[in-house]
Structure 1
């Protein structure tokens, strides 16, 4: 009997020690109730490991991001320990996973279709997250610019990357002609600097993934509606998620666009 009691005590101490180790291990210290509102989360450094996937497994993604401290840009080993993380901090893990599902779960297409005509110059984009911007005051760039300046404004069609409902439409001083669409899962998708719309969009209009929204332009940076020419022709894509305080928080679209590159519709333009 004494042996059994002794073994139980040893196991209890071991269990407490392991839990204490996991809580204090650098692998897990960032996983707390507000992890998904952190700068590390917002940078969305998904890396090639996710960009190459045909379909995202959200448990794998969440575990990888936690274990590699939210940066998969140099990760090659996709080994995960989901069960271990869930055992330590299940509520925080599920909240983080839900945030990734909200942002990525409804996305279906890259926003600029591939031209079916051979030899047409394609668009380019790079990771410009939080680069300095000065119009209207110093700020960080909260989006990703898809550049199409080898062809004039109004050439490149812009399609919806998801289903959704129009929430905002019309002129913004910084964004020019823009559309704001709320995806079914809650993400807010912001398409800015459009040269023109495909139709007269109104608040409440339903949008289908792949539907033509308008055309890439260079509108904005002015209070005067219709102003063009203050920068190169491009699409500014912004992706936002609501925080626990019901505020819209931007996340980096760059690696999301890298993931969506494999899903391009073809148009003739």
Structure 2
């Protein structure tokens, strides 16, 4: 993987609520680096109703990156588990790890209606994948199986914030679970890193659609948010032994906002 590297996640290409209607909106985020890591949920692979548009946008994204001479790394997420590879990348001898984040919690997306309804299926999957309790490769493979198991039978209608808010609070248990997960995601991510990536000092994730920077259990956890209303997104960059991140500024195009965190990890 060529450096410098930029990490983005949760583009959700093809989803009606995605803020990305044309990949040209992303051009400023793709320029100026050698490699872009798309850290999961880049496109709507599992939702058949969204897939034709999602595939077209994904093709456009890959074409734009090729035109810019940017190497791409696509990591699997719960909405696009079909990407090949182990599901994570690391730098600095394992001190920095990026993965989507759906493996952080036992049930993948514990706020989903499918997780509520398919708990027994999840227990069976875990029983069949005992090695996932301690092995990173097995854990990320199990996350892909969980993603397919929790594939929703239908898609919520509407892309407005009101519609999405209504969907989020129905049933009420779902809203409470979302708030719980947002509150504990950093601690759970740090515990996940301790178990599966013990050398990691930094874990970069997405998945939870709640961006931020946290220091937990001696580790730095960065969530890069999402490009779905009403959420915001972050960029992360690895350049010359320095890790930096900042907010993505929204407008007609998406741009790198000022860095609000810089850490030296290189030797």
Which structure has more helix as a fraction of its residues? 2
TM-score by length of 2: 0.27
TM-score by length of 1: 0.27
